[in-house]
């Protein structure tokens, strides 16, 4: 990543993603060191 890259911190959300009554964790980040900008999203399902 270049030194002038713009990176956001992870943004966690607790939500019942799959409707099973258990809270799941959804998180992601954003970066813009190149065009087009990008990021990642992770979903952790509670079992």
User: For 7-43, what is each residue's pLDDT tens digit?
Assistant: 677 779 999 999 999 999 999 888 777 778 788 899 9
Site of tokens 């713009």 = 6
- Listed in sequence order, the residues at least 6 apart from 20 whose beta carbon sits closer than 8 Å to its beta carbon are none
Q: How far apart, in whole angstroms, are the C-alpha atoms of residue 32 and residue 7?
A: 7
Q: How far apart, in whole angstroms, are the C-alpha atoms of residue 4 and residue 9?
A: 16
Radius of gyration of the chain (CA): 14
**Residues belonging to the chain:** 47
Q: How far apart, in whole angstroms, are the C-alpha atoms of residue 46 and residue 23?
A: 7
Give pLDDT, residue 2. Answer: 47
Give pLDDT, residue 27. Answer: 93
Give pLDDT, residue 21. Answer: 97
């Amino acid at each position: 990543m270049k030194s002038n890259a713009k990176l956001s911190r992870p943004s966690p959300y607790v939500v019942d993603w799959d409707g099973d009554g258990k809270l799941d964790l959804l998180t992601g980040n954003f970066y813009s060191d190149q065009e087009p900008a990008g990021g990642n999203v992770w979903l952790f399902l509670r079992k």
